[in-house]
Structure 1
Amino acid sequence: MKKFINRVDDFLTESLAGFAAAHADLVELNREPVFVRRKTTTPGKVALISGGGAGHEPLHSGFVGYGMLDAACPGQVFTSPTPDQMMAAAQSVDTGAGVLFIVKNYSGDLMNFEMAAEMCEAPNATVLVNDDVAVENSSYTTGRRGVAGTVIVEKLVGSLAESGANLAQCKAFGERVVQRIASMGVAFSSCTVPAAGKPTFAIGDDEIEIGVGIHGEPGRRRARLAPADAIVDELLTALVGELKPAADTELLVLVNGLGGTPLSELYLLFNAARAWLGQRGLKIARAQVGSLTTSLDMAGASLTLGSFDAEMIRHWDSPVQTPALRWGR
Structure 2
Amino acid sequence: MKKMINQVDNVVKEQLQGVAKAHPELEVNLDPMYIVRGDRKAAKVALISGGGSGHEPMHGGFVGKGMLDGACPGEMFTSPTPDQMYECGQKVDSGEGVLFLVKNYTGDVLNFETAVELLHAEGIKVQSTLVDDDVAVKDSLYTAGRRGVATTVLAEKILGAAAEEGYDLDKISELAKRIANRGRSLGVALAACTVPAAGKPSFELNDQEIEFGVGIHGEPGIERRAFTDGDSITTDMMSEILDNQPYERTVRRWDNDSGEWQDETWVTESLQAGDRVIVLVNNLGATPQSELYMVYRKVAEILEPLDISIERNLIGSYCTSLDMQGVSITLLKVDDEMLSLYDTPVNTPAMRWGC
TM-score (norm: length of structure 1):
0.98
User: 2:127 aligns to what SS in structure 1?
Assistant: strand
Distance 1:117 1:24 in 2: 29
AA of the residue aligned to 2:169: L
Q: Is the CA contact (8 Å cut-off) linking 2:16 and 2:30 kept in structure 1?
A: no
Distance 1:258 1:101 in 2: 24
Q: Could you tell me how far 1:228 is from its partner in structure 2?
A: 1.1
Q: Could you tell me how far 1:245 is from its partner in structure 2?
A: 2.4
Q: Which residue of 2 aligns with 1:13?
A: 13
Q: Which residue of 2 aligns with 1:142?
A: 144
Q: Is the CA contact (8 Å cut-off) linking 2:98 and 2:125 kept in structure 1?
A: yes
Q: Could you tell me how far 1:59 is from its partner in structure 2?
A: 0.4
User: 2:191 aligns to what SS in structure 1?
Assistant: coil
| Equivalent residue in structure 2 for 1:282, among 308, 321, 325 | 308
AA of the residue aligned to 2:289: L
Structure 1 stretches lacking a partner, 5+ long = none
Q: Is the CA contact (8 Å cut-off) linking 2:275 and 2:307 kept in structure 1?
A: no
Q: Could you tell me how far 1:247 is from its partner in structure 2?
A: 2.4
| Equivalent residue in structure 1 for 2:335, among 301, 309, 318 | 309
Please state if 1:318 is matched with 2:344. Answer: yes
- Render the CA deviation track for 1:212-269: whole Å, top value 9, x for unaligned: 0000000001001111111111111122223532322211110000001111111111
Q: Is the CA contact (8 Å cut-off) linking 2:62 and 2:350 kept in structure 1?
A: yes
Per mean C-alpha deviation after superposition, the further-off stretch among 241-250 and 122-131 is 241-250
Q: Which residue of 1 aligns with 2:205?
A: 203
Distance 1:30 1:172 in 2: 31
Structure 2 stretches lacking a partner, 5+ long = 245-268
Structure-to-structure mapping, 1:69-84, within 5 angstroms: 69-84=68-83
Distance 1:90 1:244 in 2: 34
CA-atom RMSD, angstroms?
A: 0.9
Structure-to-structure mapping, 1:120-269, within 5 angstroms: 120=119, 121=122, 122-242=124-244, 244-269=270-295
Distance 1:30 1:248 in 2: 46
- Render the CA deviation track for 1:56-106: whole Å, top value 9, x for unaligned: 000000000011100000000000000000011011100110100000000
Distance 1:281 1:227 in 2: 26
AA of the residue aligned to 1:70: D
Distance 1:60 1:148 in 2: 11
Distance 1:201 1:278 in 2: 36
- Render the CA deviation track for 1:149-177: whole Å, top value 9, x for unaligned: 10011111111111001001111100001
AA of the residue aligned to 2:46: A
AA of the residue aligned to 1:202: E
TM-score (norm: length of structure 2):
0.91
Structure-to-structure mapping, 1:22-101, within 5 angstroms: 22-25=22-25, 27-101=26-100
Q: Which residue of 1 aligns with 2:258?
A: none
Q: Which residue of 1 aligns with 2:259?
A: none
Report sequence identity in percent: 51
User: 2:238 aligns to what SS in structure 1?
Assistant: helix
Distance 1:284 1:169 in 2: 26
AA of the residue aligned to 1:3: K
Please state if 1:295 is matched with 2:321. Answer: yes
AA of the residue aligned to 1:307: K
Q: Could you tell me how far 1:272 is from its partner in structure 2?
A: 1.0
Q: Which residue of 1 aligns with 2:263?
A: none
Distance 2:293 2:23 in 1: 27
User: 1:73 aligns to what SS in structure 2?
Assistant: strand
Distance 1:167 1:253 in 2: 27
Per mean C-alpha deviation after superposition, the further-off stretch among 277-286 and 73-82 is 277-286
Q: Is the CA contact (8 Å cut-off) linking 2:134 and 2:186 kept in structure 1?
A: yes
Distance 1:252 1:160 in 2: 17
Q: How many residues align?
A: 328
AA of the residue aligned to 2:102: V
Distance 1:159 1:226 in 2: 41
Q: Could you tell me how far 1:10 is from its partner in structure 2?
A: 1.1
Q: Is the CA contact (8 Å cut-off) linking 2:136 and 2:186 kept in structure 1?
A: yes
Q: Is the CA contact (8 Å cut-off) linking 2:281 and 2:328 kept in structure 1?
A: yes
